[in-house]
Chain A
Amino acid sequence: MSKAAQFAKKRKKRLVVRTIVLLLLVSAIVFAIATRDNEKVLAVGDQAPDFELVDLEGNPHRLSDYKGKGVFLNFWGTWCPPCKAEMPYMENQYKEFKEKGVHILAVNIKQSNYTVETFRDQYGLTFPIVIDKNESVRRAYDVLPLPTTVLINEDGIIEDIITKEMTEDEIRSFMERIQPK
């Protein structure tokens, strides 16, 4: 091999090594920035964590039992005005979408049976309401603000996470999104 060829080879090797090292180091920075808020573990497109909670009548509801159906998972509390406001809309849409394979599971955060029952009767709600007494489901879904609604499709994949009050039209369009095809 001539000297020039040797030199060119060395130069190429150097370029490759430097590029790899720089790429690794830059990706480390990108990784650090991406993981700085590791509170948000759940994201759209993830498998929805399975859970099992008991409703006011004592019937267990397990998320995986709803496979093949869309699940409209709503986290709420009676002290939160927007949660209360969207409840009648959810009830209306539930009646329509129940037959089309979209279910509502309303997860109350750690309130007493009395309070939740009184609320349900006042609002005349017919969809199942479960109470997350030890906050395990809230933690598993990293729910911070209320209301938070998680749209889960027929395959158990999270389609969307909504962390604000919804109008009736929005609830309808969300239910259409997770309606099984």
Chain B
Amino acid sequence: MSKIKCQCGHENPFGTVLCERCGRPQTEEAKKSETVDMRYEGSARRSQTYNRTIIDKIWNFFSSVKIGISIIVAVLVTSAIGTLFPQKLFVPANSEAEIAAYYERLYGVFGVVYYKLGFHDMYNSWWFITLVGMLGISIIIASVDRVIPLYKSLKKQRTKRHPSFMKRQRIYGVGAVKDADKSLERAESKLKELRYNVKVEDGAILAEKNRFSRWGPYVNHTGLIIFLGAILLRGIPGFYVDETLWLREGDTVVIPGAPGYYLENKGFILENYSEEDSELYSTALERAGAIAKNYQTDVALYKNPEGTVPGQSEAMVLEQETSIIVNEPLKFDGYNVFQMDYRLNELKTMTFQLTEKATGKSFGEFTVDLMDPKSKYELEEGAYVELRDFATDYDGIDKGEMISKTPLPNNPAFVFKMVTPAKPDGEMSFVAIQQTLETEENDYKVNFVNAEMRNISGLTVRKDKTLYLLLVGGIIFMIGVTQGSYWNHRRIWIQKGEGDEMLLASHTNKNWFALRKEIDQVKDYAGLPQYEDREDTESKPDNEEGDFK
């Protein structure tokens, strides 16, 4: 693989289309063509330069813009498929088997395939992560392969170009002028007025403006890479926490994702608007029923001091007491705890009364805390009730044992032994919601008086150390977009030719119309020859059907 030596004596790297120094075409194709492709200045893209080892081949694969676009399309298509059926997060199931069954039941064969391929949990599927990762690799390699040669050739470019380079530019003009030197001088001053950077050398002018706009795509890609990197950081423990916490009133539990911190629910408040607040509300309230005014959880935050281990809850220290309201989270140590959800009215305690059936005489009331029942409740006149068995969520009896479906007090059931002075051996009674069973006819009964309810707060625990990095990535991304979209890199070459001839050529990466307007000003002022835009489709008379050919 050798260097390409140009007629001007400059040695160009293999793969060069236009000589880095003078701009003479180096390939047969470029020599034959009317105008040249000025992308990357006709420099040798590295991907095309070397293709020897397997590493080079992988490198070139990712360097290809076609591959990059294919990956983007693949990400878009798979993302679209992922929205067809609900993601795993929204499936009401706990185990993998239940989730699989859910998709099969609702969506049949498509559901099975969807689940098997991992679309149900797409953002966590290995192939989606791989696709996004390949996109990242493609962005990095493709950018590096282009920005370095582009930077080098823009830096190396000479003021005076070979006429064959000028001739192959999209905007090109040649013609005789009265006084070439004077024209050059006037062109120079006009270009400076138009805020071009003007270089004059050996009867040639290179006027250039807004070169930095060429770096826009690469700045943009840097932002994207920072963004992807920030998401990658979320995998490191301590950087990102997103957990759900259901907290009952009066309960204290460890905060998931924040070891060593405990949260106590001191009360959940749900307030609705009422007509008393304002007469204006009455119509709205009539139409919509209840309208929530406030969701609030009053909490106390505790911390286990250094040197203690999980479970040593007696050692924990109160850190702060606050109210969590929607959009006003509890904040501590980089964590935010948000009010997200609630459930009202879970049974907390049940109060009963022991009475004599015949007379209706009461021995007093007793209250069973469903989360912490006692085995014996003392009553008046030496009577007492023993709790012989208890189920929080009663679901029948198996081998003489009460079965509880869950540890939650959804359907509490009790076996009471009632002991009174008249019946010192006691009587047994089974009590559940709305029913009482007796093994034999009893003289006494335990009847339900009332119940106390409590609410449950649904909280979300968030910690995101990558947030600012994501913001920085996003800002850099937008800077890149702006830089590349609102400025255009324009170059105008003017030089003396044979005799009293003058050559004019120009190039921009976009917005040729504005470039032509500027050249017209220079041309009129300096008396330069007429030029032609050889790829201009816009200003030609539209005598054919349609805009595109």
Contacts and interface: CB of A to CB of B under 8 A. Distances in A.
Nearest to A61: B311
Nearest to A81: B403
Contacts of B406: 79
Interface in A101-154: 109-115, 117-118, 122, 130, 132-137, 139-140, 145
Contacts of A31: 232, 235
Interface string B393-425: 100000001001111000000000000000000
Q: How large is the interface on B (under 10, 10 to 19, 20 to 34, 35 or more residues)?
A: 35 or more
B405 A114 contact: no
A22 B254 contact: no
B407 A133 contact: no
Contact of B253 (A7, A32, A134): A134
Contacts of A51: 309-311
Contacts of A113: 372
Interface string A12-38: 001100110110011011011111111
A29 B310 contact: no
B392 interface: yes
Contacts of A117: 375
Most chain A CB atoms below 10 A, which of B137, B311, B389, B401: B311
30 contacts: A7-B1, A14-B50, A18-B55, A25-B137, A26-B137, A29-B129, A31-B232, A35-B236, A36-B235, A50-B309, A50-B310, A51-B310, A79-B393, A79-B404, A79-B406, A111-B407, A114-B375, A115-B390, A132-B311, A133-B313, A134-B252, A134-B253, A134-B262, A134-B313, A136-B253, A136-B254, A136-B311, A136-B313, A137-B311, A145-B95
Contacts, number: 121
A156 interface: no
Interface of B: 1, 50, 52-53, 55-56, 58-59, 95, 124, 126, 129-130, 133-134, 136-137, 140-141, 232, 235-237, 252-254, 256, 259, 262, 309-313, 371-375, 387, 389-390, 392-393, 401, 404-407
Interface residues of A, number: 52
A41 interface: yes
Contacts of A133: 313
A53 B404 contact: no
A112 B50 contact: no
Nearest to A23: B55
A53 B311 contact: yes
Contacts of B129: 29, 32-33, 36
Contacts of B309: 49-52, 62-64
Nearest to B304: A136
Contacts of B52: 11
Contacts of A109: 407
Contacts of B126: 33, 36
Contact of B310 (A25, A114, A137): A137
B259 A114 contact: no
A29 B256 contact: no
Given A18-B59, A132-B311, A134-B254, A33 B130 contact: yes
A172 to B, nearest CB: 25
A70 interface: no
Interface string A34-72: 111110010000000111110000000011100000000
B232 A32 contact: yes
Contacts of B136: 25, 28-29
B237 A38 contact: yes
Contacts of B312: 52
Contacts of B262: 134, 136
A48 to B, nearest CB: 11
Given A15-B53, A51-B311, A115-B392, A38 B235 contact: yes
A93 interface: no
Contacts of B313: 133-134, 136
A26 B309 CA distance: 39
A101 B373 CA distance: 36
B389 A29 contact: no
A38 B256 CA distance: 13
Identify the 10 closest CB pairs spanning chains A and B, nearest first.
Answer: A35-B235, A29-B133, A136-B254, A136-B310, A53-B311, A51-B310, A51-B311, A140-B310, A50-B309, A114-B373
B152 to A, nearest CB: 15
A7 to B, nearest CB: 8
Nearest to A25: B137
Contacts of A137: 310-311
